Chains A and B, each alone.
Chain A
């Protein structure tokens, strides 16, 4: 059974003029120990989906439809206090910018210990021992000397390790990692990815890896969901999608990744930009930029359909079952 199951999730942000739909009819599932990559441009709704799962959508945003089940229990309509208990204990989070994720006025030890004590009945001394173990676990050298240091005394990569240590304090079954490597140097990125993969393997933790970097997905994820303008346009196994992407948008994404073995002088690019939330066109949201768009794409919104189990795609080109991509 899936560890996390998101079913037809819809997230709205009411504004003065109209209601913006940031996440529209998104369904996805993550099995225990699995890494699901969620990829898309900024504003595609990836982070909002992640925030919805942990129940931390910024007001006035709200979940307007669908349901979220974690370990067989529906969690989107729990009272605030119950949601809070799930955060950190069952579902850990890693944020994008390690430089701003930690409170500058507390030592990393204080922040680790308070998180550990929130989620367990350990004594203070035991919590500190656990904090030391966690810091060692995430690859901080000489944790005993570093535990009483303040966040500003760590480098960016080291801070992201501390953030990961905070996320795994209570050995959650799922970690939502929202752009965990975007703010880091390339050389540090691969270290953090390797760390996440190792933790996932050792503890059997599932990861929802939100990123706009196809390379990170290729390296880490088991399955990938591609989001565009608040919807999932394609989902499937990473290898399958990397090798033969179906949706025209995914194809465009793949072609815009530089390759060393390619002869072409220029990188392909997708013309135009993703529509902002208040100007999502009717029909398929991608049709203004789609090279294969036809008249019916301007009128009908495609649903996510299974094409080649477990791959699914939301494109009218595949509506009659043929897979000519």
Chain B
């Protein structure tokens, strides 16, 4: 949307009548068509930014091949002759100019072709795809856990901030924020797997193969195996969401429209959960969306603690063997997921907050 300030910056040749200027400005600001266009422009702009980010990530991922050791050393044995090494170098395209290699790398990555793993001699894309369901199931379940507990607890502590239960919850949440993830994981394993023996300490349990997706959600052992890793990964996010919801609730409860809602005689339930909570959740949606990206990225630690066969564990193993194709593919994929989530969150903002949503045509302005 054009602000009045911008409107006055319309290039006006000297002598143009004010009326025409007004008409020009009116045409540019008034119609709903223009507003739909500005929304489209916004999305395109964010898309361009995302592409730029992806370009730089691809550049870094590509440069790993150049600097992190010679891949040929990793692939061959001691008895391989220099001629054979040179031949391998040629077939891998390592002798081409850097720019040619880079463009080849980008166009291959764009079609989800990340080359062959040095170590496993299998296509990297297939390896990552087979590990992806494990990571995504764990991450999404963690996010759901964080939301399902974080929002109600945050709302409760915001509404009843001087009860003893609120004080207890706030203190416990402080512990959740400050304890490192791996420590929480180890503690949970110690209590629930070692002492009590209720839940498994590692692995996914039995998984059901749905062709392109292996899920642990359909078996009892699969579900049991998900509990501890999900809590470990989601606990920090839960306390974060809880504290955010609480502070937003306190903020919103002070606003005039909440006082006016009370003055209209609306019941507390409606004032708290319809009017206050909805407003408090607007920023929570952004944060949760962005956190989902970091949950997926930081699943590495939880996957290591629980030996969870996801992408993060694959990445760590590939670092140990300097399997650069897997490392760079993981880097690009994680960056892509985070960037895509950011984009979706930005667009979601438009859908939730009518003040930003500019699709509607309005004419009544002072």
Tell me which residues across on chain A come within 8 A of B264, comparing CB atoms.
87-88, 93, 115, 118, 166-167, 169
Bound together, the chains give a CA A119 to CA B259 distance in angstroms of: 18
- Per-residue contact bits, chain B 65-106, to A (CB 8 Å; 1 contact, 0 not): 000000000000000000000000000000000000000000
Given A115-B264, A141-B364, 13 new contacts (CB under 8 A): A84-B266, A95-B260, A101-B256, A103-B257, A104-B257, A105-B282, A106-B275, A107-B354, A115-B265, A118-B266, A119-B265, A150-B354, A166-B260
Within 8 Å of chain B (Cβ to Cβ): is A56? Answer: yes
Contact among B262, B266, B353, B362 for A153, CB-based, below 8 A: B362
B266 lies within 8 A of A114 (CB) = yes
Residue of A nearest to B356 (CB): A152
Q: A114-B266, A115-B266, A118-B264 are contacts. A95–B354 as well, Cβ < 8 Å?
A: no
Tell me which residues across on chain A come within 8 A of B279, comparing CB atoms.
103-105
A88 lies within 8 A of B360 (CB) = no
Bound together, the chains give a CA A312 to CA B360 distance in angstroms of: 55
B360 lies within 8 A of A102 (CB) = no
Q: How far is the CB of A84 from chain B (nearest CB, A)?
A: 5
B binding-site residues for A, Cβ under 8 Å: 255-257, 259-268, 270, 274-275, 278-279, 282, 352-355, 360, 362, 364-366
Within 8 Å of chain B (Cβ to Cβ): is A100? Answer: yes
Bound together, the chains give a CA A149 to CA B263 distance in angstroms of: 22
Number of interface residues of A (CB under 8 A): 40
Bound together, the chains give a CA A152 to CA B353 distance in angstroms of: 11
A155 lies within 8 A of B257 (CB) = no
Please indicate which of the listed interface residues B257, B264, B278 has the most CB atoms of chain A within 10 Å of its own CB: B264
Q: A84-B265, A114-B270, A119-B265 are contacts. A146–B355 as well, Cβ < 8 Å?
A: no
Tell me which residues across on chain B come within 8 A of A163, comparing CB atoms.
260
Within 8 Å of chain B (Cβ to Cβ): is A10? Answer: no
Tell me which residues across on chain A come within 8 A of B255, comparing CB atoms.
100
Tell me which residues across on chain B come within 8 A of A88, comparing CB atoms.
263-266
Q: How far is the CB of A183 from chain B (nearest CB, A)?
A: 11
Please indicate which of the listed interface residues A89, A102, A105, A114 has the most CB atoms of chain B within 10 Å of its own CB: A105
Residue of A nearest to B274 (CB): A114
Bound together, the chains give a CA A156 to CA B262 distance in angstroms of: 21
Bound together, the chains give a CA A185 to CA B267 distance in angstroms of: 33
Tell me which residues across on chain B come within 8 A of A118, comparing CB atoms.
264-267, 270
Bound together, the chains give a CA A102 to CA B267 distance in angstroms of: 17
Give the 10 A-B residue pairs with the shortest CB-CB distance, closest first: A88-B265, A155-B366, A93-B263, A87-B265, A100-B256, A150-B354, A88-B264, A153-B362, A101-B260, A103-B257
Residue of A nearest to B270 (CB): A114
B267 lies within 8 A of A84 (CB) = yes
A157 lies within 8 A of B366 (CB) = yes
Q: How far is the CB of A182 from chain B (nearest CB, A)?
A: 13
Contact among A95, A115, A156, A169 for B259, CB-based, below 8 A: A95
Contact among A85, A86, A95, A158 for B364, CB-based, below 8 A: A158
Which residues 65-108 in A have Cβ within 8 Å of B in the complex?
84-89, 93, 95, 97, 100-107
Contact among A86, A89, A104 for B354, CB-based, below 8 A: A104
B275 lies within 8 A of A149 (CB) = no
Within 8 Å of chain B (Cβ to Cβ): is A214? Answer: no
Bound together, the chains give a CA A56 to CA B265 distance in angstroms of: 11
Q: How far is the CB of B350 from chain A (nearest CB, A)?
A: 13
Bound together, the chains give a CA A85 to CA B362 distance in angstroms of: 36
- Per-residue contact bits, chain A 158-171, to B (CB 8 Å; 1 contact, 0 not): 10000100110110
B263 lies within 8 A of A87 (CB) = yes
Tell me which residues across on chain B come within 8 A of A150, comparing CB atoms.
354-355, 360
B265 lies within 8 A of A155 (CB) = no
Tell me which residues across on chain A come within 8 A of B270, comparing CB atoms.
114, 118
Q: How far is the CB of A114 from chain B (nearest CB, A)?
A: 7
Tell me which residues across on chain A come within 8 A of B274, comparing CB atoms.
114
Report 11 cross-chain contacts, Cβ distance below 8 Å, ordered by A residue: A54-B263, A84-B267, A88-B266, A105-B352, A114-B270, A152-B355, A153-B360, A155-B365, A166-B264, A170-B265, A185-B366
Bound together, the chains give a CA A241 to CA B175 distance in angstroms of: 64
Residue of B nearest to A156 (CB): B366
